[in-house]
Structure 1
Amino acid sequence: MNAKRISGKLRLGVLAGVVAALATSAQAKEWTSVTIATEGAYAPWNQTLPGGKLGGFEHELLTTLCTRAQLKCNLVAQDWDGMIPGLQAGKFDVLMDVISITPEREKIIAFSRPYASTPATFAVSDDGILPKASPNAAAVKLTGDAKNDQAVVDGLRKQLKGKTIGIQSGTVYTKFIQDNFKDIATIRVYKTAQERDLDLANGRIDASFDDLTYFLSGSVDKSISVAGPKIGGPIWGPGEGLGFRKQDADLKAKFDAALASAIADGTVKSLSEKWFKTNVAP
């Protein structure tokens, strides 16, 4: 094969890549409207209201962010499992659904600066499974390092041995439960938190694991109560952020600037206290 032809093809390929990148950059700088995906089923973070409208903490935060970024935002409901594939396929431009920023996800998509940081906990409908949580207890800080976290995890393993734990699929909490309890407990994975809660309330599983703010929202069955320690710290990453395609760096910059403003002037704090009765601002 002719070496010059190979070289020419490489140059053409590089040139095409540069042109495509410039085109993408030019297009990205013209953002005036964006489509943002949320689950609409994780109250009080996001929820579907009577009549089909979306609401919740993230919806209200998004409203002020879009105003600050001078963007017209269209919020649409999307199942959790299809969010990242839909983003990459161009179905929408931004994800906002309590998405924890993790190294694994950062390999695939870009994240804004965090807009919230919250602990997780177990919930039960039978107080005999785990002791009730103390409302004023501080969160236990886990690092994600098995050696450092061993004492806390071992204590929970003893209490949950032989039990059935429910978890929503595809969350940062799913991995924690699978990694630490699958050898001593039955793990049941659900598409939605509501399906899991229904089984917990009806005694088909013994415990569930999720964000503390979700269980305290008042939207779960009254028979369900938080139990065991609150678990926070580096194990969950820096917090929750908006998700973007990696090439949309300028769109991310717009939302980063809007978030910095909303955090600095206390908007995130006031909205979180309205919806969660506690400050989740990072």
Structure 2
Amino acid sequence: MKTSQLLSASLLALGLLASAAPVQAKDWKTVTIATEGAYEPWNLTLPGGKLGGFEIDMIEDLCPRMKITCKLVVQNWDGMIAGLKAGKYDVMMDSIVITDERKKEVAFSAPYASTSASFVAASGKLLPEAKGDTLKLGTDAKTVRAAVEPLRAALKGKTIGIASGTVYTKFIDEHFKDIATVREYSASADTMLDLKAGRIDAAFDDVTLINSILAKPENKGLAYSGPKIGGLVFGEGEALGFRKADADLKALFDVAIKAALADGTMKKLSLKWFKTDLTPATP
């Protein structure tokens, strides 16, 4: 019996030592990053299949800072979180806005950008583009509803296109689904194609994407409709997503992102791709 007690005590001690031992962080040498390759100008697929855009340039700056080799793979947005959690890649990067809901699923890096969104429609239809400052909205639903009432009136009975699974999808569902038909698409590019074809009356998306769309000669019939909308209603800003278990990898990217913000690299890339400074006020 004493032998049994001693063995049990020894096993217990070993168990306590094992539980107290620090978990060894993974030695990150190569990291696989998933991006959509179809959310211009954040990320896009160039002729020949090469990826380009703001986030691609950003990664080409961040990875050497961390002395990590980064491999980019293409993944549709609607399956990106599931693929990350399944271990298909280590990081997801697709103009992903930090939200409380998404924090339940993944860990986020420090934000590297903060953008706004707007409606776009055929020129001369719905509301004209609002000139002046971006309409900054918070998280109080009643205040937001009051601010968007003119837009609700203009879109009553219309069909609105929105890319599914984005922070903008929730906004449209909460404030417009009761007065308009909301049609969801797997990608923003498909939304814009249906808008051009007249199958929907308006689309709602990130202003950086809309600017890119409107700059193309073939889209000259489209225009902003109403004000640009930003603020905490859409979350804390754009960031990279990680598995919650990979806190060490997130920490590496946090340091690199904050360094790129501090030395002006992020601002330089923002001006290159967006023609405006989208860097967040605080990293």
**TM-score surpassing 0.5?**
yes
Output one character per residue of 1:77-133: Cα deviation in whole Å (capped at 9) or x when no partner. Answer: 101111111100110000110000000000110000100001111100142212123
Q: Does 1:186 align with 2:181?
A: yes
2-side partners of 1:192 and 1:30: how far apart?
35
- Correspondent of 2:220 among 207, 218, 222: 222
1-side partners of 2:129 and 2:279: how far apart?
26
CA contact 2:121–2:222 (8 Å) conserved in 1:
yes
1-side partners of 2:39 and 2:96: how far apart?
12
Letter in 2 for 1:99: I
Task: Give the unaligned 5+ runs of structure 1.
Answer: 1-7
Output one character per residue of 1:130-183: Cα deviation in whole Å (capped at 9) or x when no partner. Answer: 21232xx11111112112223212221111100100000100000000111111
Report the equivalent of 2:170: 175
CA contact 2:161–2:183 (8 Å) conserved in 1:
yes
CA contact 2:113–2:237 (8 Å) conserved in 1:
yes
Any idea what SS the aligned residue of 1:243 has? strand
Q: Does 1:262 align with 2:260?
A: yes
Any idea what SS the aligned residue of 2:31 has? strand
2-side partners of 1:211 and 1:34: how far apart?
28
Report the equivalent of 1:61: 58
Matches within 5 A, 1:207-246: 207-217=202-212, 218=215, 221-246=219-244
CA contact 1:197–1:221 (8 Å) conserved in 2:
no
Output one character per residue of 1:186-237: Cα deviation in whole Å (capped at 9) or x when no partner. Answer: 0000111111111101111110000011111235823221120110111111
Matches within 5 A, 1:89-238: 89-134=86-131, 137-217=132-212, 218=215, 221-238=219-236
Question: Which has more radius of gyration?
Answer: 2
1-side partners of 2:60 and 2:222: how far apart?
32
Any idea what SS the aligned residue of 1:159 has? helix
CA contact 2:145–2:175 (8 Å) conserved in 1:
no
Letter in 1 for 2:250: K
Q: Does 1:40 align with 2:37?
A: yes
CA contact 1:132–1:227 (8 Å) conserved in 2:
yes
TM-score (norm 2): 0.89
